[in-house]
Amino acid sequence: MQPMHGLNELREQGRMTWIEAERGWGAEPEDIVDALSSDGFEECKRETTTSRRDLRPAGGVWQGVNTGTGSVASAIWVNRPSRARAIVFVAIDGESFRDNALNRPEHDPYEDDGGES
């Protein structure tokens, strides 16, 4: 996976925080989209869904392509009425962009999640 300077900057600023229980990021979707754009991804798809009575979008999806590398980025988000920030799931070339601690090679999800050891 290529370096994601925009996303890493959001994490450093505390504007994007990993939520282990959700296995996603707490963030403003537009911040994520802007970061992906600054990392060279050009928007090719954006949709929002409105299914709530207050007409506020329930969630959305964004996809972009880096024409220089051929990489594809996706962001899917779900707005939570009781929370200030949405849950955002980010993938680059089909690989989930997760917290660094969870991306390290020695990470064993069964051990960390209380499963088999």
Domain boundaries, given as residue ranges, for the chain: 5-104
What integer best gives the mean pLDDT of the chain? 82
pLDDT tens digits, one per residue of 59-79: 999 999 999 999 999 999 998
Checking if the pLDDT of 58 tops 60, the result is yes
Q: pLDDT confidence of 112, banded at 50, 70, 90?
A: very low
For 68-83, b/e burial (b = at least 16 CB within 10 A) is: eeebebbbbbbbeeee
Write the CB contacts of 90 (distance below 8 Å, at least 6 apart in sequence): 7, 25, 32, 36, 73, 74, 75, 96, 97
